[in-house]
Copies of this chain bind each other. A is one copy, B any other.
Amino acid sequence: MIQTMTENQIALLIIKALKDNKQKEFNRILDELQPYDIAQAYDHLPEKHKKRFLLFMTADRLAQLLEELNKDMQLEVLNKLENEKTGKVLDLMDNDDLALLLHDMSAEKIEGLLAGMKQSESRIIQNMMTYPPETAGRLMTNRFVWIRDYYTVREAVEKLKSFAEYAETINYLYVIDQDRKLVGVVSHRDLLIAEPLEVIQDIMYERVISAAVTTDQEEVANMVLKYDFLAIPIVNEENVLMGIATVDDLMDVVVQEANEDIEKLSASGKAIDFDTKAFVAAYRRLPWLILLLFIGIISGSIISGYEATLSQVVALAFFMPMISGMTGNTGTQSLAVVVRGLVSNDLNKKVVTKLILRELGVGVIIGVTCGILIALIAFFWQGNIYLGLVVGVSLLLTLIIGTLSGATIPLLLYKFGIDPAIASGPLITTLNDIFSLVTYFGIATMFISYLT
């Protein structure tokens, strides 16, 4: 009846099995649950039952459980396990999840954990840790199915069957030569359709799409987005097959990279989620805010340069928030279009020229529309046609430049190999702020005799 039960009902069932010390019943329940659900159940379990919960679990299930938990919880579980079991569990964990767990740990602690593992497994992990974070080398698993090109379809199917339990994907069989170089790929689907005695050489794809160990994880994810593969083979510089990156991990990469783009665009600081402590979150957000504070001081000193103008026509201050707000926003709009566009577009001169001309067009259209509107409003509100003109023309100019800078600055940064999202959010806001103030007060000062 587990299949129709709610999570709460299942949780009660699990607690009952733990209380009654019935391991069989416990396993019968867990058999029906997905690893994610088991992790949720563990997470919500009262503290006093957790020890026995872990004791009842097989090493296999514990490895799956660890893969689903966040880092804090992983460490909590590892602390509760006996040393001897820890090694077994880590052996069974996916390499990429284990590498992520060890990342940031002290060398001493890593050594302690790896000590309990099989040498062959721990060596693989140590090797993975030599690749830079967020590259394909950190993402890959060595649990793939490999075959040779002289195998028959039947032999390949046999190999697949013997790997089935262990492999991360059974959708592709990778063909390697005697030097472990990647020479082809056969999909499981093709095997099902082929005749048993056909030779792999004759049915394999030889134009294999692969990524290098040092490829950025976002690029690997983009390959899967384009090609709709369920896994991508990862090779070293000699085209030796090192591992595969699977779609589930790459989907997590897509989410992570989107979050990073948003964090950077909103300058919200790195890696703040619901569980981050207040002090840590404040510490991560402060650098941007302090930068903004000094930027604000620059704006302030520009205004102070026009103090004479401002004290003659205090009404000029009324339109300051509107002009800088709108210029900032139009810049952010262009920026967002460019940053996200870079995810799925390849850049060349033609694309860039077209994009910049388009943004210029957008700037002119919105500048003229908003400029006329605010000129009329300013005129009717303050009863001075010249004030209306000054505000309207300023807005027209700042919107055009705001749009253009929002498009060109990230493109320039991208060209020079700087992540456009991180540098350009606050950068564009600042530049636009400064430019809009100079334009506005500059024009106002020119026409000051008409304004007073």
Q: Which residues of A are interface residues toward B (Cβ below 8 A)?
A: 2-3, 32-34, 36, 160-161, 164-165, 170-171, 188-189, 192-193, 205-209, 224-228, 230, 247-248, 250-252, 254-255, 258-259, 261-263, 265-269, 272-274, 276-279, 281-282, 285-286, 288-290, 292-293, 295-297, 299-301, 303-304, 307, 310-311, 314-315, 317-326, 329-330, 332-337, 339-341, 343-345, 351, 354-355, 357-362, 365-366, 369-370, 373-374, 377, 381, 399, 429, 433, 437
**Which of A307, A323, A335, A365 has the most C-beta atoms of chain B within 10 angstroms of its own C-beta?**
A365
**What DSSP secondary structure best describes chain A's contact surface?**
helix
Cβ-closest 6 pairs across A and B: A296-B322, A278-B361, A258-B258, A300-B318, A268-B333, A282-B365
A194 CB to closest chain B CB (Å) equals 10
**Minimum CB distance partner of A249 in chain B:** B228
- Residues on B with beta carbons closer than 8 Å to the beta carbon of A2: 206-207
Q: Do A324 and B326 touch across chains, with their CB atoms under 8 A apart?
A: no
Q: Do A206 and B3 touch across chains, with their CB atoms under 8 A apart?
A: yes
Known: A192-B161, A208-B3. A303 touches B321 (CB 8 A): yes
- Residues on B with beta carbons closer than 8 Å to the beta carbon of A354: 274
- Residues on B with beta carbons closer than 8 Å to the beta carbon of A300: 318-322
Per the bound structure, the CA–CA distance linking A367 and B64 in Å amounts to 43
Q: Do B329 and A34 touch across chains, with their CB atoms under 8 A apart?
A: no
A123 CB to closest chain B CB (Å) equals 26
- Residues on B with beta carbons closer than 8 Å to the beta carbon of A165: 189, 193
Known: A276-B358, A278-B358, A437-B321. A374 touches B193 (CB 8 A): no
- Residues on B with beta carbons closer than 8 Å to the beta carbon of A323: 296
A288 CB to closest chain B CB (Å) equals 7
In the assembled complex, 26 residue pairs joining A and B whose CB atoms fall closer than 8 Å, in A order, are A2-B207, A32-B207, A36-B226, A160-B192, A164-B192, A230-B230, A251-B251, A254-B254, A254-B255, A258-B261, A258-B262, A262-B340, A268-B332, A274-B355, A285-B330, A285-B362, A286-B366, A289-B326, A289-B370, A292-B325, A296-B321, A303-B320, A304-B315, A304-B318, A310-B314, A324-B325
